[in-house]
Amino acid sequence: MAAETTHSTPKLSDAARVLNIPDGIATTGFGRVRRVADRIGIHFDRWQEGIGTLMLAKRADGTYASSVGGIGMSICRQTGKTFTVGTIIVILCLTTPNLKVIWTAHRTRTSAETFKSMQALVKRPGLSRHCKAIRQTNGQEEIAFANGSRILFGAREQGFGRGFAAVDVIIFDEAQILTEKALEDIIPTANAAKNPLIIHMGTPPRPVDPGEVFTDRRAAGLAHDPDSTWIEFGADRDCDTADPDAWAQANPSYPHRTTATAMLRMLKNLGEDSFRREALGIWDQDTEHTAIDPELWAQAATPERAPGGWTAMAIDMPPHRGWITIGACQAYEDGTAYIDIAALKGVRKHGTKWPVDFLVRRWPRLAAVVIDAQSPATVLIPPLKAAGVDVTVTSASDMGKACGRLLDMLQYHELRHKPDVRPLEQAVAGATVRKIGVEGAFGWNKLGSDVDISPLVAATLALHGAVTSTRRPGDEPEQRMIELP
């Protein structure tokens, strides 16, 4: 940040696309924070001052106005959210003895980057003498202040947050991938605090992200919840992603802090859909048109498959040919089936020969090996056939029947799947449908360019092969599916 406020920057009320302010605000603790910041040479832009004012807004009894509903911020990348929130939190620690703060991100890498950034902040002249210690132990970092206040950093994927008590401030970074379980683990840590403050901040979630918690925070803000704050920066949904006016609309730090070069770099490297979410703050429209009902899918999760039956496998590759997925299905005489991912490997590291070797070894015990005629995986058909594998090649009509069959079996509780197989879970969450022909048939499609549905396609084709094939090889009483390592 520069040493002077840029007065030409917009106010928060002008910069935010959505702004929900809680009821009953009488005072704010930000005035004191700003005075301390001024003394040590840190000056906020006007929209940053607005965030600080709302973050520390209080009712007449001294409790934070958003203590019940929390504070949610949907802020684009390259806007300066870590500096803005981090500076406010550091100064709050300086001015409030024995304050306990936990700053948690989903990923270890993000947590480490935030810790590094905050270290640089507390080492600034005027702040360093108040820092008692900076500790890094087993992935749980801490900044300790001379007055007893502490900021602890950690990644939720490593279980950080459980077991703490009387936490005064919780910051959920990467809130777009904050799960209900992580929330349940961490929120109780603030129950014993006298005046807790809970902050969610992130970018709009992708279709494959577990974004329900952050989406619920947004829904409360859009509904004008009187006990919560919601701040959302974003461009128009129909904007031109290469238009600098859209960049300025979404990012109040553009162009005086976030340069055009930085925006162009993100546009080139993130891809269209990711850029719209992460750089322009554009939320996807409601995704009720997702193909597979999440509740039915969750109900079908079964850790152990039943013995017996027969196995079919199928191969699919995404259009970019980055990896290859082998889906598996175990079908039974009673008409039920169990699907899983048998293997998934990247092409760059493992090449394209491994699926042939994988399936040739298992072919004597398989009912079918399936590849769709429109899949890039058709390149594997000649070497498979040359090795003696009888490949079933599905048509558009077959694909329509296969997708319909999967949904019908889910509906009637005839289909089970192994739980928590991440590639399959992400594919299911990000799958919609595309029309096939004129008879009402459909195939799987994806909600965005950053969604890979090939694991779902492979599992669907494996189900098709298991159900339609009449081949019953071997006399083994049980055929074991190959699990994803």
For the four alpha carbons of 260, 261, 264 and 266, in that order, the dihedral sign comes to negative
Please state, in angstroms and as integers, the Cα–Cα distance from residue 266 to each residue in 80, 142, 258, 269, following that order: 15, 31, 11, 5
Name the pLDDT band for 482 (thresholds 50, 70, 90).
very low
Give the Cα separation of 301 and 295 in Å (integer): 10
Dihedral of CA atoms 301, 304, 307, 310 in degrees, nearest 10, equals 50
Name the pLDDT band for 250 (thresholds 50, 70, 90).
very high
For residue 484, pLDDT over 60 is answered with no
Q: Which domains does the chain have, with CATH numbers?
A: 12-278 (3.40.50.300), 294-468 (3.30.420.240)
Whether pTM > 0.75 for this model: the answer is: no
* H-type alpha helices, 364-412: 381-386, 396-411
pLDDT digits (tens, 9 = 90+) for 60-119: 999 999 999 999 999 999 899 999 999 999 999 999 999 999 999 998 888 889 999 999
* H-type alpha helices, 56-187: 81-95, 108-122, 180-186
Report the pLDDT averaged over residues 1-8: 45
Give the Cα separation of 461 and 465 in Å (integer): 6
Q: How far is CA 447 from the centre of its chain?
A: 14
For residue 481, pLDDT over 50 is answered with no
pLDDT of residue 291: 84
Residue 145, φ and ψ in degrees, nearest 5: -105, 160
Lowest mean pLDDT segment, chosen from 359-363, 396-400, 415-419: 396-400
pLDDT of residue 438: 53
End-to-end CA distance of the chain: 46
Judge contact between 226 and 216, C-beta under 8 A. no
Written as six digits, the tokens of 274 are: 């990711």
Number of helical H runs and strand E runs in the chain: 17, 19
pLDDT of residue 475: 43
Judge contact between 95 and 35, C-beta under 8 A. no
Residue 17, φ and ψ in degrees, nearest 5: -75, -40
Report the pLDDT averaged over residues 344-359: 95
Written as six digits, the tokens of 24 are: 């009953």
Name the pLDDT band for 402 (thresholds 50, 70, 90).
very high
Percent of the chain residues past pLDDT 90, beyond the cut: 70
Q: How far is CA 113 from the centre of its chain?
A: 18
Burial of 403 (0-12, 13-18, 19+ CB in 10 A): buried
pLDDT of residue 328: 97
Judge contact between 174 and 47, C-beta under 8 A. no
20 DSSP β-pair partners: 230
Edge-first strand order for the sheet with 150-155 is: 18-20, 228-232, 70-74, 197-202, 169-172, 100-105, 150-155, 140-145, 131-137
pLDDT of residue 18: 94
For residue 135, pLDDT over 50 is answered with yes
Please state, in angstroms and as integers, the Cα–Cα distance from residue 388 to each residue in 6, 256, 357, 369, 385, following that order: 71, 64, 12, 11, 5
Report the pLDDT averaged over residues 364-390: 96
Report the pLDDT averaged over residues 147-158: 91
Which residue carries 């699926």 as its tokens? 355
Judge contact between 304 and 361, C-beta under 8 A. no
pLDDT digits (tens, 9 = 90+) for 174-224: 999 998 888 888 888 888 888 999 999 999 998 778 888 998 899 889 888
Lowest mean pLDDT segment, chosen from 208-212, 363-367, 471-475: 471-475
Name the pLDDT band for 449 (thresholds 50, 70, 90).
low
Give the Cα separation of 1 and 3 in Å (integer): 7
pLDDT digits (tens, 9 = 90+) for 222-243: 888 999 999 999 999 889 999 9
Name the pLDDT band for 485 (thresholds 50, 70, 90).
very low
Residue length of the chain: 485
pLDDT of residue 165: 84
Spell out the residues 6+ positions from residue 233 whose beta carbon is closer than 8 angstroms to its own: 15, 16, 17, 74, 75, 76, 79, 250, 251, 252, 281
For residue 477, pLDDT over 60 is answered with no
Give the Cα separation of 179 and 214 in Å (integer): 9
For residue 476, pLDDT over 60 is answered with no
